[in-house]
Amino acid sequence: MNQEVSITKEQVQKEMKYFRRLFPIVRLLDGERLLRRNDGMEAEPVEIDAPEICHCYDLWKYSAPCKNCIALEAVRSGSSPELTTREKHTRECFVVAEEGADQAKIENEIKTMPNYFSDYDTTVHFISEEEMKRDHSTLPHGGFVIRNGKTGWNQENTHVIEYRLKLDSNPEFTSSVIVCCARAAFRMKQEGMSGCKTILDIPPAYLSAKSGEELRKNLL
Report pLDDT for 183: 96
Q: What is the pLDDT of residue 194?
A: 92
Q: How many CB atoms lie within 10 A of CB 29?
A: 19
CA gap 49, 8 in Å, rounded: 11
Q: Is 89 part of any domain?
A: no
HEC sequence for 86-117: HHHCEEEEEECCCCCCCHHHHHHHHHCCCCCC
Domains in the chain, number: 1
DSSP code at position 187: H
Burial grade of 117 (CB within 10 A; 0-12, 13-18, 19 or more):
middle
Residue 185 maps to a domain:
yes
Q: What pLDDT does residue 192 have?
A: 95
- Give a yes or no: residue 154 inside a domain: no
Contact 54, 27 (CB under 8 A): yes
Whether 70 is in a domain gets the answer no
pLDDT per residue as tens, the chain (220 positions)? 455 566 777 777 777 777 776 666 677 766 666 555 555 544 444 443 333 344 455 555 444 555 566 555 655 666 666 667 776 677 888 999 999 999 999 999 999 999 888 888 888 999 999 999 988 888 888 777 778 888 999 988 988 888 888 888 899 999 999 999 999 999 999 999 999 999 999 999 999 999 999 999 999 8
Give the structural domain span for 216: 169-220
Query: Does 188 fall in a domain?
Result: yes
174/184 Cα distance (integer angstroms): 15
Residue 205 lies in a domain: yes
pTM (two decimals): 0.53
